[in-house]
Amino acid sequence: MSHHDQQTAGIERRLAEQYLNTYCRETAHPDPRIDACAPADEALMPHCATWRQQGLMPFVVDLPGSATRLAGAFSHFSPVGYHRLASELWVQQSGHWRRMDDVADLSDLIAAALTAASPSPSGATHNQARLQALMRNSIAKVRRFHQAPAAHDRPDYVASEQGLRFGHVFHVTSKASDGFSEADLCAYAPELGASFQLHYFAVRSDLLDMQTIDHKAVPIDPAAMHFAEALLRDGEYRLLPSHPWQAQYLLGLDNVGMLVRDGALISLGPLGERVWPTSSVRTVWLPQQNLFFKLSLNIRITNFVRNNPDEHVARALDASIALGLLPAARVRQEHFRILQEIGSETLKVPDKELRAACAVIYRQAMTQEEAQDVHLAAALLEESALGDIPLRALLQQAAGDRAPDADLLRRWWRRYLDVSLLPMLELFADYGISLEAHLQNSLIGFKDGWPNCGYARDMEGTSISRQRFPFLARLDPASPALYDEAQAWHRFQYYVLVNHIGHVAACLARLGPCDEASLWRDAVQSLRGCKASALALVETLLQQATLPVKANMLSSFHQQGETPSWIAIPNPLKN
C-alpha cells in the first residue's frame, strides 16, 4: 500500500474511532464488546473469530430507530472510553453486512440514530440535518489538512500548537468551521502552518475601551507603534490589533464604515511582527513580545462563533484579578505557571455585537527560550493517521538508550501529575479557583523527555467558588467568574481530571507497557501525597462512583453550545 493510501485509510480509521467512541460514551454504551460465549450474528462469526485470533476484542453497537448495527474490533479498551479501533468498521443494514469505506456514512448514521432516540423524532429532523452538515464539514477539513505537506521554518513550539489535525477525540465536529474560504484556510489555518501580520486600526482615544489588570496601558507591538507614531503622538488615537480576516469582516459592516468616514477609526493594514495562530485558530502567539492575543473571529468553529463577548472578557479579567490577589508563588511556581490575562481592548460603543467582534484579550506567554521545550498537551497525545504519537518520542528521550518499560512510564506519569493535577487541585482546595485546564488550554515544558513545568492558559473558562475564595469582597459580586462551590468543583473534575489527566493516562496505556488501572492506582498515591488542605477533596474524589463529562455530540445535536449537556462515566479513581 502506498504512503498516500496508508494515510487515507488511517484518516478514515481515526475518524471512525473518534465518532464511535463519542457515540458510545454519550449514549450509555460504555462497553460494546461481545463475549466470546455470547451468540453472534452468523454472518459476523468468521470476522469475530479472526479478530480474536489476532488478539483483538470484537464489538457490536445497535443504532436505535432501524435495524442498523455497527461492528469491528478494538486493540485497546479504555475505562474512560478512549478505545482504539483496530480494523475497519462494518455496518449491517437490511440484514446485510458491508465494510464502511467512507466515514461520512457513519456521520449520517449517528445523526439519524440521535434523531430516532429523541423524545420527538419528527421535531428533531432539523437537528439531524444540521449535525450531518457539521460532521461532514469537519471530515472535509480533516482530509484537507492532511493534503498539505508538513510546514517548515517554524519554532518547535509552534509545530506542536499547529499539529492538531483531528482535534478533540470526544467531539464529532472537532474541525468544523464556517466562514473561511479555501484561500483563507491557506492563509490562516494553524493546521496548514499559517503565520501572518496582524491588521491594526487607529482608534480615536475616546472610542477605545481599554481594561487592564495593573492599570497600565496594554502592550503594543513596537513596530506598529513606530509606523503610527504621528497619529499616536498627541494621544488622539490608540492602536487596536485585529485578525486580518476579522479586519476585512469589520470593514464590510455599515456601522464600522461610518466610523471610518468620520475619522474615528483608521485602517492601517498589516503591521508588526509575524504572529503564529495556535490550536484555537483565533489566539495568536507573539514570540518577540512574550504574549498571546486572543482575537475575535466571527466564524463558527465547532459549536461557537469565536468572538469575545463582554461576559467572556469580564470572566477572563476577573479571574486574573483573583489570581493577582494570591501569593505570587502560587501563580508562578517552579514547576507550574498560570499564564494570566493582562488586559483587553474593544470599541466603546453600545452595540454589543460590534464590541464582541472588535475585542482582543492580552495574555502572558512563555519566553522564547522557555517555549523551545514546551508542547501543547493535546498535540502531544494526538495519534496521527499513520498511527504514531508525539508522546512516544518524549518517553524514548526520557528512557535514553533503552526501551521505555512499565517502570519508566509510571515514573514519568507521576512526574506529569506533579506539574499538572496536583498544583491545580491544591489551588482549588486553598483558594477555590478552578482552572479550565483541558488539553488545549494546557502546555507542558519538558527537560530530557521528563515533564518539568505545567502551564495553564485562557482564564475565560475559570470558575471561582464563592464559598472557598478568601478574597470575595475584592471581586464584583456579579462577576461571571464566580460560581457556587458545586459548580466550580464539577468543572474541575471534568476539565482537569477527565478531559486532561484521564486522556494522558489512556494514551500512556495505549503505548503498551502498563495498563490504565495501574496508572490510576499511581494517581491515587500521588493524590494522597497532596498538601493537607487538599486531602478532604482527594477523599471525596476517591469515594464518588462517577465523574462528569461534557457531552459534546449531544450538545451539538441539541444546539446547546452555551449550556451543554452532561453525562457521567465510572470513576477510575474509585477502589
**Other C-beta atoms within 10 Å of 351: how many?**
12
Residues 187, 196: contact at Cβ < 8 Å?
A: yes
Q: State the DSSP string of 294-311.
A: E----SEETTEE----HH
DSSP secondary structure of 367-428: -HHHHTTEEEHHHHHPPPTTS--HHHHHHHHHHTTS---HHHHHHHHHHHHHTTHHHHHHHH
What distance separates the 2 farthest-apart alpha carbons in the chain?
83
Of 478, 527, 506, 512, nearest in space to 408 by CA: 512
Query: What is the spatial distance between Cα 183 and Cα 154, in angstroms, rounded to a whole number?
Result: 21
Using CA atoms, how far apart are residues 131 and 71, in angstroms rounded to an integer?
23
* Residue type (1 letter), 128: Q
What pairing do the DSSP bridges indicate for beta strands 196-204 and 265-277?
antiparallel
Residues in the chain with pLDDT < 70?
Answer: 1, 38-40, 561, 575
Kindly report, as residue ranges, where domains of CATH 1.10.510.40 are found in the chain.
Answer: 373-543
The pLDDT value recorded for residue 35 is 86
Please, where in the chain does CATH 3.30.310 lie?
Answer: 3-147
Q: Which of 229, 228, 240 is nearest to 295 (CA)?
A: 240
Closest CA to 42 of 101, 98, 100, 97: 97
The total of other beta-carbon atoms located within 10 Å of residue 129's CB is 12
Cell of 368: 522564547
* pTM for the whole structure: 0.96
Architecture in CATH for domain 373-543: Orthogonal Bundle (1.10)
What's residue 216's pLDDT?
82
The closest of 325, 300, 320 to 138, measured between CA atoms, is 300
What DSSP assignment string belongs to 310-325? HHHHHHHHHHHHHHHT
Among the residues of 54-124, which ranges form H helices? 103-117
**548 contacts: CB under 8 Å, gap ≥ 6:** 490, 493, 494, 498, 566, 567, 568
Residue type, 281: V
d(CA 206, CA 184): 33
Specify the CATH architecture of the domain 3-147: 2-Layer Sandwich (3.30)
- Spell 279-294 as b/e; 16+ CB within 10 A means b: bbbbbbbbbebebbbb
Q: Compute the distance between CA of residue 33 and CA of residue 60 in angstroms, rounded to an integer.
A: 6
Residue with cell 482530509: 143
Of 551, 186, 153, 201, which is closest to residue 345 (Cα–Cα)?
201
Q: How many Å apart are CA 272 and CA 225, to the nearest integer?
A: 8
Handedness of CA 163, 85, 554, 544 (dihedral sign): negative
Whole-number Cα distances in Å, 140 to 133, 177, 212, 262: 11, 10, 41, 43
Q: What is the pLDDT of residue 39?
A: 63
